[in-house]
């Protein structure tokens, strides 16, 4: 058994050269919302969920981007409602939010 049941990483990268990146697309707000919701739902901690910041995840064109492990499910999201749905459906109940899954061909 792993220390955390699920780990969600939020890309908070910002490129100085003007190329696409997640931070300018409200990634920090998504991270903070997820962290808050996970805590409020009492999902945080050993045996539960860990919410982490990440540098570039190399999928900038689909940003903002988050990835859930060990499930290896990549998400894009648009607002706080999307984050709430990811927390409730995937992080809490183990059900993937299909409408927010980042297509596998989306990269930089």
pLDDT of the residue at 1: 63
- Confidence grade of residue 17 (pLDDT, cut at 50, 70, 90): confident
Position 82 in a domain: yes
Position 84 in a domain: yes
Question: Which tens digit of pLDDT belongs to each residue from 45-56?
Answer: 999 999 999 999
Mean pLDDT of 72-78: 97
Res 108 pLDDT > 80: no
Q: How many domains does the chain have?
A: 1
CATH number where 18 lies? 3.40.30.10
Residues 6+ apart with CB under 8 A from 8: 34, 49, 50, 51, 52, 66, 67, 68, 69, 86, 91
- What range does the domain containing 39 cover? 6-100
Position 86 in a domain: yes
Residue 56 to residue 51: CA distance in whole angstroms:
16
pLDDT of the residue at 71: 96
Exposure class string for 49-71: b at 16+ Cβ within 10 A, else e: bbbeebebbebbebbbbbbbeee
- Confidence grade of residue 20 (pLDDT, cut at 50, 70, 90): confident
Q: For residue 58, what are its two tokens? A: 């190399």
């Amino acid at each position: 058994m792993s220390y955390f049941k699920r780990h969600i990483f939020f890309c908070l990268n910002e490129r100085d050269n003007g190329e696409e990146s997640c931070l300018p697309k409200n990634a920090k707000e998504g991270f903070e919302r997820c962290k808050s919701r996970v805590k409020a739902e009492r999902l945080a901690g050993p045996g539960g969920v860990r919410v982490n910041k990440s540098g570039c995840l190399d999928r900038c064109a689909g940003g903002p981007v988050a990835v859930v492990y060990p499930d290896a499910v990549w998400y894009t999201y648009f607002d706080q409602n999307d984050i709430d749905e990811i927390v409730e459906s995937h992080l809490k109940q183990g059900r993937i939010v299909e409408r927010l899954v980042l297509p596998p061909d989306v990269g930089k």
